[in-house]
A and B are shown apart, each in its own frame.
Chain A
Amino acid sequence: GAVVSQHPSWVICKSGTSVKIECRSLDFQATTMFWYRQFPKQSLMLMATSNEGSKATYEQGVEKDKFLINHASLTLSTLTVTSAHPEDSSFYICSARRGAGVGPGSYEQYFGPGTRLTVT
């Protein structure tokens, strides 16, 4: 299989604090991980692409100093929401892509279950 986990599944924090969300590929190595954000009844919006060992690439309009992404290993990427505010409340979803040429399913993205962030 290709399982991706996220931790925590939900978090409540106070305005001004920082929150870290982890995304792990449990049974495969992910050279690339993606972070998405989903508002209620809206589509998933790509926030950034992270490649292991290099800086993340952010989509237009996404503040890189606000949403810090670290892809320190082939199985772990983290998203840190710094100085969170109520408008950052959302559902954050990660996906992981297998390395190229690694059997069936190469290049497919496998999604985590998401993290619900509520900033009070």
Chain B
Amino acid sequence: GNSVTQMEGPVTLSEEAFLTINCTYTATGYPSLFWYVQYPGEGLQLLLKATKADDKGSNKGFEATYRKETTSFHLEKGSVQVSDSAVYFCALRRSGGGADGLTFGKGTHLIIQP
């Protein structure tokens, strides 16, 4: 079956540091890949997505590239801010399934210190 593995947290960084949160997946076919962010007290929000190999999703300074050869979708940001503190979830939706539910990783709690 489908699965998503992401690095466990918490990840603590200083402001303006470089961020990488690793995410790898197991799936048949060509899934769509997502990063969601959950700020304290709020619901999950889509951060970025990629729907095919070599696609790069980007938003708010965050980027992730769909790497089929390594089955990875690592999240990166060049310079983090305190406001980026949140829980980040990597997720996939199986190919051809617009109506399918998502398979999530366990989430990575990111803490940015001033």
Measuring CB to CB, which residues of chain A are less than 8 angstroms from any residue of chain B? 4, 32, 34, 36, 41-46, 49, 51, 59, 93, 95, 97, 100, 107-114
Contacts and interface: CB of A to CB of B under 8 A. Distances in A.
Contacts of A112: 43
12 contacts: A4-B43, A32-B99, A42-B106, A43-B4, A44-B44, A44-B102, A51-B99, A95-B44, A97-B99, A108-B46, A109-B46, A111-B45
B44 to A, nearest CB: 4
Contact of A46 (B44, B46, B103, B106): B103
B25 interface: no
Nearest to B46: A108
Contacts of B69: none
A46 B91 CA distance: 12
Interface of B: 4, 36, 41-46, 89, 98-107
- SS class, residues of chain A in contact with chain B: strand
A43 B105 contact: yes
Nearest to B107: A43
Nearest to B101: A46
B43 A107 contact: no
A112 B41 CA distance: 11
Nearest to B44: A111
Contacts of B101: 34, 36, 46, 49, 59
Nearest to B42: A113
A104 to B, nearest CB: 12
